[in-house]
């Protein structure tokens, strides 16, 4: 098989959560253990950092990878899902893995695929571990796919575990309370391994404390160590001043990820770096500053308040659950624009009513859908939105919706595309 044939095989032959939803989710680690065992347990051959959370884990992973790479370490990065190219999931020092590797790996494990029938995600996790081991990375940032305890990535013993936050998402799989969701994500906490907790809420804090105590895992609360004393957008950069709680010292950072919600991820990243420094990783302040100013450029992170056009301002954001939409709405309030045009598409298994209830009623809406089976029909979304006094038109394709918004927008307006990672991935 060539590369395209290999991708077609992987997408067609294996259950893919992004397309199918719950039916593709494997609720144990058996297949991942079998796959990795068959290829020599590559995950044991390099150091890792494990990142879980409802929102922010992608941005946090990319910023950390940029910092470690800028500090001179050969750094792997595994994230999901991809937006445009499957190989975005597996990178070393910001470069995606080679097409030939994807072909070769798939060919090698094809007999095992037929025997154990793994999911798409289980295959990609094993593929990433194999790639990082073959290239002898110094460290790899491994982003959890879903949850934590039963996620395919949870066969690693990392240098550091990170849980960015807890919010409402995937309740059909993780539990219908914040305590249950927190317990699933706390499943990445390991014996004697330090853990950084980003944002805390009353429901999640006791869960994390109890798990860390049980496993003798040193716990670091990012929001209690530092705070944001000032921030402002300068062009397409976010300038943030961070104060240290213990010393009240101030440090300034410029992020090339300009969404205000990145300030929360920044606090998590800085706590993680402090732990890594204690563990002996050599990372200094100028390195952190340089990496954060270039993290998008270094690792190609897209869809996080990503400005792709001016006049009118066109922004892409992968925010799609209740907490993600809250952050987007807060960002909209910081951006003074004459009229806001919102292009939104969602998948069927999200908390659609909660999201619609948060969206501004004074925006013009363009309802659309991604071209995947899980996508909610745009006409149904339009009907549901009307109950929340959100009005607009429906479109079969996101790019048609964008063109319509451009046709209706004045130069001082803002056009936002959001609601689903897969909608953002289809933007031309």
> pLDDT-based confidence at 19, cuts 50/70/90?
very low
pLDDT of residue 167: 76
pLDDT of residue 337: 78
pLDDT of residue 23: 46
pLDDT digits (tens, 9 = 90+) for 264-301: 999 999 999 999 999 999 999 999 999 999 999 999 89
The matching CATH number, chosen from 3.40.50.300, 1.10.260.40, 3.90.190.20, 3.40.50.1580, for 306-425 is 3.90.190.20
Strand partners, 415: 314, 341
pLDDT digits (tens, 9 = 90+) for 237-272: 999 999 999 888 999 999 999 899 999 999 999 999
Element (H, E) at 139: strand 139-143
pLDDT of residue 17: 42
pLDDT of residue 24: 44
- What does residue 122 show for φ and ψ, rounded to 5 degrees? -60, -40
Instruction: Work out the average pLDDT over 58-79.
Output: 98
Instruction: Work out the average pLDDT over 82-88.
Output: 94
Tokens 């995950």 sit on residue? 43
Range of weakest confidence among 189-198, 229-238, 286-295: 229-238
Instruction: Work out the average pLDDT over 386-413.
Output: 97
What average pLDDT does the structure give for the chain?
92
The matching CATH number, chosen from 2.60.120.10, 3.40.1190.10, 3.30.499.10, 3.40.50.300, for 3-299 is 3.40.1190.10
Closest CA to 392 of 351, 362, 348, 347: 362
Cα separation of 385 and 376, whole Å?
12
198 pLDDT more than 70: yes
Q: How far apart are the first and last CA of the chain?
A: 28
Q: State if pTM tops 0.75.
A: yes
Domain positions in the chain are: 3-299, 306-425
pLDDT of residue 236: 84
Cα separation of 216 and 239, whole Å?
37
49 pLDDT more than 70: yes
Cα separation of 314 and 417, whole Å?
8
pLDDT of residue 54: 87
Whether residue 160 contacts residue 49, with contact meaning beta carbons closer than 8 Å, is answered with yes
pLDDT of residue 20: 46
pLDDT of residue 244: 94
pLDDT of residue 168: 63
Whether residue 9 contacts residue 106, with contact meaning beta carbons closer than 8 Å, is answered with yes
pLDDT of residue 349: 78
Cα separation of 407 and 404, whole Å?
5
> pLDDT-based confidence at 15, cuts 50/70/90?
low
pLDDT of residue 191: 98
Instruction: Work out the average pLDDT over 401-428.
Output: 95
Structure tokens at 263: 């300030």
Range of weakest confidence among 70-74, 114-118, 334-338, 405-409: 334-338
């Amino acid at each position: 098989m060539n590369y395209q044939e290999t991708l077609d095989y992987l997408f067609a032959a294996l259950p893919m959560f992004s397309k199918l939803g719950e039916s593709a989710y494997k609720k144990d680690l058996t297949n991942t253990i079998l796959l990795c065992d068959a290829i020599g347990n590559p995950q044991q051959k390099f150091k890792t950092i494990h990142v879980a959370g409802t929102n922010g884990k992608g941005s946090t992973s990319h910023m950390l990878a940029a910092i470690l790479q800028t500090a001179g370490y050969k750094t792997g990065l595994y994230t999901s899902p991809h937006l445009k190219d499957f190989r975005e999931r597996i990178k070393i020092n910001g470069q995606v893995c080679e097409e030939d590797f994807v072909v070769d790996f798939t060919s090698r494990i094809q007999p095992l695929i037929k025997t154990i029938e793994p999911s798409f995600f289980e295959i990609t996790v094993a593929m990433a571990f194999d790639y990082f081991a073959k290239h002898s990375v110094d460290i790899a940032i491994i982003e959890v796919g879903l949850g934590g305890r039963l996620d395919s990535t949870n066969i690693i013993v990392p240098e550091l575990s990170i849980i960015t936050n807890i919010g409402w998402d995937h309740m059909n799989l993780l539990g219908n309370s914040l305590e249950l969701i927190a317990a699933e994500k706390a499943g990445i906490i390991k014996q004697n391994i330090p853990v950084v907790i980003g944002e805390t809420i009353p429901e999640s804090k006791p869960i994390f404390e109890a798990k860390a105590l049980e496993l003798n895992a040193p716990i670091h609360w990012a929001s209690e160590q530092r705070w944001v004393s000032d921030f402002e957008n300068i062009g397409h950069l976010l300038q943030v001043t961070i104060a240290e709680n213990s010393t009240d010292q101030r440090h300034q950072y410029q992020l090339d990820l300009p969404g205000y919600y990145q300030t929360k991820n920044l606090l998590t990243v800085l706590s993680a770096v402090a732990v890594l420094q204690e563990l002996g990783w050599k990372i200094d302040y100028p390195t952190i500053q340089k990496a954060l100013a270039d993290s998008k450029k270094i690792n190609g992170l897209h869809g996080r308040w990503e400005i792709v056009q001016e006049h009118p301002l066109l922004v892409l954001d992968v925010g799609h659950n209740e907490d993600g939409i809250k952050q987007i709405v807060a960002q909209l309030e910081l951006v003074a624009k004459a009229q806001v045009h919102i292009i939104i598409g969602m998948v069927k298994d999200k908390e659609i009513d909660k999201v619609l209830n948060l969206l501004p009623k004074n925006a013009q809406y363009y309802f659309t859908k991604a071209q995947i089976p899980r996508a909610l029909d745009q006409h149904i979304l339009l009907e549901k939105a009307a109950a929340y006094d959100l009005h607009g038109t429906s479109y079969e394709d996101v790019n048609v919706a964008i063109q319509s918004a451009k046709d209706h927008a004045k130069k001082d307006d803002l056009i936002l595309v959001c609601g689903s990672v897969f909608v953002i991935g289809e933007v031309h």
